[in-house]
């Protein structure tokens, strides 16, 4: 599938502002968010195409979201309010964003950074959406985007650790912090595993290797379960969890690991035939 650049002008389009924090938290924790977007003059764009959304016209300028199209371009009322009131139409495509980095919460992948790493030959500040990104540039962009998300996950986990130590004692706060930390670690583990595994997620249990995307297609993309190799229940006091303490596993293996209330090791879980 080809990769395209979509453009967001926050001065004319107020999406990702009112509920930006909720959207950011949801997608960074593995959720998805559907939204129609201008396709510019692009009349042909295959369903399932990769898309990146760049925020322009207002600092900070950079890539703030990525996902895939779930429709082909079709005519719809123009996104610009004044043009829409005047009855103008435009081409729109329905997108499913798997990652949204709200500039109100985290820094986007800045346009300046894209220029600094040797991608300045591509125009990252076009006037309209639907610009096709060359294959080599798209491959490098995927790498930079994954690295950027990993950095966000690390920063998010650190900020939560700082907050946790400052808000000691309240049970409701402790539960919220625990869930946020868990989501951040899960996201960081998935990002690391994808980077090591050619952007695929395969079960790490020896002898399994199940790949949700390979079996279920688009609906299985970026899905997996993350297992704690060292059971949290064995800890007598709070302690640091590192990415090496986690493993990407499929649902079947995860169930067998914990069947009967146990936590079996990954090695030897699948019996040799």
Ramachandran quadrant class, 149 (left: phi over 0; alpha: psi -120 to 50; beta: rest): alpha
Q: Measured at the alpha carbon of residue 223, what is the angle toward residues 7 and 211, in degrees to the nearest 5?
A: 120
Where are the domain boundaries for CATH 3.10.590 in the chain?
Answer: 3-143
pLDDT tens across the length of the chain (273 residues): 899 999 998 887 776 654 555 666 677 667 788 889 999 999 999 999 999 999 999 888 999 999 999 999 999 887 776 777 888 888 999 999 988 888 877 889 999 999 999 899 999 999 999 999 999 999 999 999 999 988 877 665 554 444 334 333 344 444 344 434 456 677 778 888 888 877 789 999 999 999 998 998 888 888 888 888 887 666 556 667 788 888 999 989 988 988 877 889 999 999 865
pTM for this model (two decimals): 0.59
Q: Give residue 179's Cα distance to chain centre.
A: 18
H or E element, residue 52: strand 50-55
Architecture of domain 3-143: Roll (3.10)
Bridge partners (DSSP) listed for residue 225? 249
The predicted structure's pLDDT at residue 164: 39
């Amino acid at each position: 599938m080809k990769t395209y650049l979509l453009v967001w002008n926050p001065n004319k389009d107020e999406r990702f502002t009112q509920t930006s924090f909720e959207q950011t938290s949801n997608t960074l924790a593995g959720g998805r968010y559907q939204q129609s977007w201008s396709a510019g003059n692009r009349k042909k764009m295959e369903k399932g195409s990769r898309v990146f959304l760049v925020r322009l016209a207002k600092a900070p300028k950079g890539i703030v979201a990525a996902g895939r199209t779930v429709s082909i371009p079709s005519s719809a009322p123009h996104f610009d309010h004044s043009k829409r009131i005047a009855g103008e139409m435009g081409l729109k495509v329905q997108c499913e964003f798997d990652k949204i980095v709200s500039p109100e919460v985290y820094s986007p992948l800045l346009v300046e950074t894209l220029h600094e790493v040797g991608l300045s030959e591509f125009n990252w500040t076009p006037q309209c959406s639907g610009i096709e990104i060359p294959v080599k540039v798209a491959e490098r962009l995927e790498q930079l985007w994954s690295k950027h998300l990993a950095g966000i996950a690390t920063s998010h986990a650190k900020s939560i650790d700082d907050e946790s130590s400052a808000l000691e004692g309240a049970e409701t706060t402790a539960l919220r912090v625990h869930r946020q930390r868990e989501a951040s670690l899960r996201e960081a583990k998935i990002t690391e595993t994808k980077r090591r595994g050619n952007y695929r997620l395969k079960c790490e249990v020896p002898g399994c290797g199940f790949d949700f995307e390979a079996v279920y297609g688009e609906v299985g993309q970026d899905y997996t379960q993350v297992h704690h190799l060292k059971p949290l229940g064995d800890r007598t006091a709070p302690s640091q969890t590192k990415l090496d303490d986690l493993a990407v596993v499929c649902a079947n293996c995860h169930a067998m690991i914990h069947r009967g209330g146990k936590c079996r090791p990954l090695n030897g879980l699948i019996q040799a035939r």
